[in-house]
Amino acid sequence: MRRFWVVFLILLVGCGGLRATRDISPVAGSDVTVLPQTKGLAATKDDISVVVVPLHDVKELDGFGVLIVNESSHWISFKKEDFMLIQGGEARYPVSDTQVFTRLGGGYKPSMPGELSTDISVAWDRQDINMMRSRGLQIMDEDKKISVMGGTKEKIFVYFKTRDDTSPMQFIIPSIYNEATNQRTRFSFGFTVGKS
């Protein structure tokens, strides 16, 4: 019986290591702003601002909150399914909403970290983004394209299968499309990964 408990304890400790919290931290760059309280990153290109924040309350998946701000007067659109997370030379795409609910439970309600407004105002010096309104709904067509009208912001949440890997991550939004000018804008954000 004692042998059983020793084996059980080893398995329990071993599995606990797999459930360790991953510490995802931002990597500073010349065209991005580090948001220190939320460990997020922010950037602006072509009248589009994007904030990417790791969701540290999610352990089962690599989760990110993404705030997309359309500062132009035109509609912009993108596909959440095109977002990618590159780590260790492998590109991962977001898991489906069904898989998210299976892993995190039907009662899970995603939310941005409470400190995000302060980070945007103080670290990024963009109080105007906090004042912008969100329509609170995502206009999505049959191709799963999400549209954001001019002068508004939308937040979305994306989740990727977690790898047992501590190599750096690159979070990429390959194309945000301006419906009026046909211009495509790409965003890339770097993160380091550690175990805590």
Q: What is the pLDDT of residue 138?
A: 62
Q: What is the pLDDT of residue 4?
A: 42
Q: Identify the architecture of domain 21-195 in CATH.
A: Sandwich (2.60)
The model's confidence at residue 8, banded by pLDDT at 50, 70 and 90, is very low
How remote is the C-alpha of 95 from its chain's centroid?
12
Q: Does residue 139 carry a pLDDT above 70?
A: no
Residue pair 41/135 in contact by the 8 Å Cβ criterion? no
Q: What is the pLDDT of residue 113?
A: 95
Of 85, 103, 70, whose CA–CA distance to 160 is shortest? Answer: 85
pLDDT tens digits for 25-76? 999 989 999 999 999 999 999 999 999 999 998 989 999 999 999 999 999 9
Q: Does residue 9 carry a pLDDT above 50?
A: no
pTM of the model: 0.86
Q: Does residue 15 carry a pLDDT above 70?
A: no
Cα separation, 105 vs 102, in Å, equals: 6
pLDDT tens digits for 80-102? 999 999 999 999 999 998 999 99
List, as own/partner pairs, every contact residues 5-13 make where C-beta atoms lie below 8 angstroms and the sequence separation is at least 24, other chains included. none
Cα separation, 196 vs 184, in Å, equals: 38
Q: What is the residue extent of each domain of the chain?
A: 21-195
Q: What is the pLDDT of residue 7?
A: 39
Residue 129 in tokens: 């983004």
Cα separation, 138 vs 67, in Å, equals: 12
